[in-house]
Amino acid sequence: MTQTTFTPRVFSGIKPSGGLTLGNYLGAIKRFVGMQGEMETVYCVVDMHAITVWQDPKELANATREVAAGYLAAGLDPTQSILFNQSQVSAHAELGWIFNCVARVGWMNRMTQFKDKAGSNAEKVSLGLYAYPSLMAADILLYHATHVPVGEDQKQHVELTRDIAHKFNHDFKVDFFPETTPVIDGPATRIMNLRDGTKKMSKSGESDMERINMTDDADKIAKKFKKAKTDPTPLPETYEGLNDRPEARNLVEIYAALSDMTPQAVIADYAGAGWGQFKPALADLAVAKLAPISSEMARLMDDPAEIDRILATGAEKARAIAEPILKQTYDIVGFLRS
């Protein structure tokens, strides 16, 4: 079999469920924007993934617009990147079905995110939640994407995408789907909960104080950092000194990601500083970086028709890439086209 060379292309997505958090911004959106111009970039609001758990139909469209507004406010340029919502490109669902028939139940059973989300309630969750990683593989491979920037929590799903591509290519004796590389780099690939440094910051946590939302105003951001859990010890002299101090490490990494510094450089600047000095500095930095984004999000949300127009144009561009790839997949599988 000759080895196909795939054009470098980035794909990534965010679910419109709940609001966007600082974890989504630093672990995903900021990095997505940074990859713009380096290679072709395709970014999606994955509304079909959102409905794997119940979404109020009255709120889903608005939540979809809000994620799109988050991307745009953070610097995504719809003339440079393709930006669309998943349900407007039906090829995602079609390739997802084929991948349901490629992926093995045993592979799905190993997905730690499903186990975490389903917990002891696995019998009652939707079949979609279980099959979700195979739809995610379809999202990526429908664009023959070679690079997928994600936070640490999505690594296993991108690895599964590689397994699905490999099995498809092997079963059908083709070299059709690329081997996708997860791009998990920088200091912000796992931003933790502000009240418990051993848990990921997520949109669905119980208390609003444990996360920073991209729509929080300056007062809220400052208050949440001020109340963030820490330990009584001042900042260490070296980065290694943060070992076994999850809350302290998290705040240093947030500072590093917001200021485009390495955590080592942050430690060098604040070695020996107490929290009374570090937390206000972090709050000021976060407000300076996030306030312009949240006010731009609010401005964009005032004109939903404009967001819808951007998503429609993006969906058209996405279909132009996705549909030929789906067609070729159908031919490889042997589906009759009359």
Closer of 11 and 99 to ligand TYM (Cβ): 11
State which residue has the least CB distance to ligand TYM. Answer: 27
Q: Both tokens of residue 158?
A: 């991108």
> What is the smallest separation between the CB atom of 32 and ligand TYM, expressed in angstroms?
9
117 labelled catalytic:
yes
Q: Which three-class secondary structure state does DSSP give residue 185?
A: coil
User: Is 27 among the residues that bind ligand TYM (CB under 6 A)?
Assistant: yes
User: Is 15 among the residues that bind ligand TYM (CB under 6 A)?
Assistant: yes
200 labelled catalytic:
yes
Closer of 2 and 207 to ligand TYM (Cβ): 207
**Scanning residues 43 to 102, which ones bind ligand TYM (CB under 6 A)?**
46, 49
Among 139, 266, 191, 216, CA closest to 27: 191
**Scanning residues 143 to 202, which ones bind ligand TYM (CB under 6 A)?**
148, 150-151, 153-154, 157, 188-191, 200-202
Task: Give the whole-angstrom CA distance, residue 194 versus residue 182.
Answer: 26
Task: Give the whole-angstrom CA distance, residue 209 versus residue 21.
Answer: 12
167 labelled catalytic:
no
Burial of 120 (0-12, 13-18, 19+ CB in 10 A): exposed
Q: What is the DSSP string of 84-110?
A: EEGGG-THHHHHHHHHHTTS-HHHHHT
> What is the smallest separation between the CB atom of 153 and ligand TYM, expressed in angstroms?
5
Contact 192, 250 (CB under 8 A): yes
Segment near ligand TYM (CB under 6 A); pick from 8-16, 122-130, 269-277, 309-317: 8-16
Of the listed 124, 167, 199, 203, which one is catalytic? 203
Q: Which three-class secondary structure state does DSSP give residue 83?
A: strand
Closer of 83 and 150 to ligand TYM (Cβ): 150
HSE-up of 291 (CA within 13 Å, CB side)? 12
Residue selected from 40, 139, 210, 216 as contacting ligand TYM according to rule CB under 6 A: 139
User: Is 140 among the residues that bind ligand TYM (CB under 6 A)?
Assistant: yes
Collect all residues with Cβ–Cβ distance below 8 Å to 18 and sequence separation of at least 6: 63, 203, 204
Closer of 117 and 338 to ligand TYM (Cβ): 117
Q: Both tokens of residue 183?
A: 């791009």
User: Is 33 among the residues that bind ligand TYM (CB under 6 A)?
Assistant: no
Question: Residues in the site for ligand TYM, rule: CB under 6 A?
Answer: 11-15, 23-24, 27-28, 46, 49, 136, 139-140, 148, 150-151, 153-154, 157, 188-191, 200-202
Q: Which residues are catalytic?
A: 117, 200, 203
